[in-house]
């Protein structure tokens, strides 16, 4: 088999066989197929696409390119959730304890962030001493004992995806739905859970810009899950404005804790309740959404959900006092209020630009080597549809350095105002099973 023939076949719009895809992935991982040939194939896939069988075979080969976590010795149904990411997306920090308190086992492997703010691992590391590097046995033991763990992905998990993603990033082939779907699902399937919930986001602060594109990606990933006999469902949600009010690592942890106390922003809680209900139904712990929501609310009201977060933090070496007393989390040197210069209704809030502004003051990474400042970020006080008077606080900026005039001007540009009343757009666009 010659790899140039595989490139030519896909260039001409033909479907690859399972054997050809296996030859590709095995050869790329062992170094016998060079980057420049794989780059050419990725570009051919970008333009010609792949059918459902090709995508499932690609995902399966990538999944088996490294170790696969076996969670079968953990009692009960194991659930996982993946978000395609966005600004202020701290969902796992509230959602995982909520569903774990209801009896679902959550064995979650997460990543770090590159861009506007940190990933889930960066956020939990705002808590003093929190360890994300558990080995497989520690991971499984913790999930068995307390029903919950959030750890970093091991280096042995899906090495094909690491190589392919780095290549796609520098060859303008990142936004290919077959390649995105197989990348995400290979990691989720290799992580060993029984059920997968995908939160696929669209809008200004998301990778997919329209609900139609988000739905197409979601359906592609669900098809992979079904072909590989995994209960996979998706929730399509809007990222046209930041999720919740906090953008920045410790600030988002604080907001996640507040949500577990019934004190968080309404949009963020609603997303967690929607996702939690789906996960409980996937785990056969609730028959319908109404029953599932009642279970989640009960465990928020009685403190069990917050208790689960405390248990996880304690088990992974973190300081539980920072969960019980969030004022002990890292604090920035300055809190600067930025007041509105206009009166009207917030018509649009530029999520991606707000995320970029948070990154510029240290909340995220422009390049992998950057160090994150866990304390800094933005807490919004006005969002889409809200009425604003001149002088009302739009946000509190948590920063260790004075803000430049350019930064402040850019911040004000993120708020598009209208004299007419603006209806709040729905957060959840669709749920797909």
Does the annotation count 398 as an active-site position? no
82 catalytic? Reply is: yes
Position 365 scores a pLDDT of: 80
The Cα 395–Cα 379 span in angstroms is: 5
pLDDT in tens, 27-49: 999 999 999 999 999 999 999 99
pLDDT, averaged across the chain: 94
Residue 213 burial class via C-beta count within 10 angstroms: exposed 0-12, middle 13-18, buried 19 and up = middle
Instruction: Specify whether 193 is catalytic.
Output: no
The yes-or-no verdict on residue 314 having pLDDT over 70 is yes
Total residue length of the chain? 433
What does the alpha-carbon distance between residue 82 and residue 92 come to, in Å, rounded to a whole number?
Answer: 9
Choosing from 183, 191, 237, 238, the catalytic residue is 183
233 part of the active site = no
Q: Residue 386 class from Cβ within 10 Å (0-12 exposed, 13-18 middle, 19+ buried)?
A: middle
DSSP 139: H
Task: Indicate whether 141 pLDDT > 90.
Answer: yes
161 an active-site residue? yes
pLDDT at 113 over 70: no
Q: Among 89, 122, 161, 240, which one carries the catalytic annotation?
A: 161
Chain center to CA of 354 = 17
How far, in Å, CA of 23 to CA of 45, rounded? Answer: 16
Supply 9's token pair: 């076949």
pLDDT at 169 over 90: no
Give the per-residue pLDDT at 15.
Answer: 98
* Candidate list 78, 82, 90, 365, residue with the active-site label: 82
Q: Which residue in 168, 188, 269, 365 is the catalytic one? A: 168
Chain segment 191-229, per-residue pLDDT in tens: 999 999 999 999 988 888 999 999 999 999 999 999 888
Residue 361 structure tokens: 């003051």
| 302 DSSP assignment | T
Count the alpha carbons within 13 Å of 66 in the hemisphere toward its beta carbon.
Answer: 21
Neighbours of 41 (CB within 10 A): 22
Q: Residue 393 forms beta bridges with which residues?
A: 339
Catalytic residue (one of 78, 81, 187, 398):
187
Torsion sign over Cα 336, 126, 382, 412: positive
DSSP-based three-state secondary structure for 331: coil
Is the pLDDT confidence value at 305 over 90? yes
Which tens digits make up the pLDDT trace of 230-273?
Answer: 999 999 999 999 999 999 999 999 999 999 999 999 999 999 99
């Amino acid at each position: 088999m010659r790899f140039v023939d595989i490139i030519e076949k896909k260039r001409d719009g033909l479907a690859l066989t399972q054997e050809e895809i296996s030859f590709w992935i095995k050869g790329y991982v062992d170094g016998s197929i060079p980057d420049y040939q794989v780059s050419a194939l990725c570009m051919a896939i970008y333009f010609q696409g792949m059918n459902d069988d090709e995508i499932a075979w690609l995902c399966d080969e990538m999944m088996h390119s490294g170790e696969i976590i076996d969670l079968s010795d953990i009692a009960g149904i194991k659930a996982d959730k993946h978000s395609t990411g966005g600004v202020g997306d701290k969902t796992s920090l509230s959602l995982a304890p909520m569903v774990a308190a209801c009896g679902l086992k959550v064995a979650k492997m997460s990543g770090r962030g590159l861009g506007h703010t940190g990933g889930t691992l960066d956020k939990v590391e705002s808590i003093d001493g929190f360890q994300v590097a558990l080995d497989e046995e520690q991971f499984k033991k913790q999930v068995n004992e307390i029903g919950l763990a959030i750890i970093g992905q091991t280096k042995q998990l899906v090495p094909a995806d690491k190589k392919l993603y780095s290549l796609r990033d520098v060859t303008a082939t990142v936004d290919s739905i077959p390649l995105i779907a197989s990348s995400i699902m290979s990691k989720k399937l290799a992580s060993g859970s029984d059920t997968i919930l995908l939160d696929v986001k669209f809008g200004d602060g998301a990778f997919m810009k329209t609900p139609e594109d988000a739905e197409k990606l979601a359906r592609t990933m669900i098809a992979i899950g079904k072909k590989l006999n995994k209960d996979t469902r998706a929730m399509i949600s809007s990222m046209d404005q930041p999720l919740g009010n906090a953008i920045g690592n410790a600030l988002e942890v604080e907001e996640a804790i507040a949500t577990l106390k019934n004190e968080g922003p309404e949009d963020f809680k609603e997303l967690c309740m929607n996702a939690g209900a789906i996960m409980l139904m996937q785990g056969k712990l609730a028959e319908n959404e109404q029953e599932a929501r009642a279970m989640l609310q009960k465990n928020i009201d009685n403190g069990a959900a917050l208790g689960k977060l405390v248990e996880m933090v304690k088990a992974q070496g973190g300081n539980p006092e920072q969960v019980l007393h969030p004022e002990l989390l890292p604090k920035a040197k300055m809190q600067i209020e930025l007041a509105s210069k206009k009166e009207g209704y917030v018509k649009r809030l530029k999520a991606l630009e707000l995320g970029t502004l948070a990154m510029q003051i240290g909340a995220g990474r422009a390049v992998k080597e950057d160090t994150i400042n866990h304390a800094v970020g933005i807490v919004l006080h006005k969002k889409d549809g809200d009425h604003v008077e001149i002088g009302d606080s739009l946000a509190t900026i948590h920063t260790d350095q004075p803000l430049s005039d350019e930064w402040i001007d850019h911040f004000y540009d993120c708020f598009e105002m209208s004299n007419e009343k603006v209806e709040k757009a729905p957060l959840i666009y669709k749920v797909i099973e």
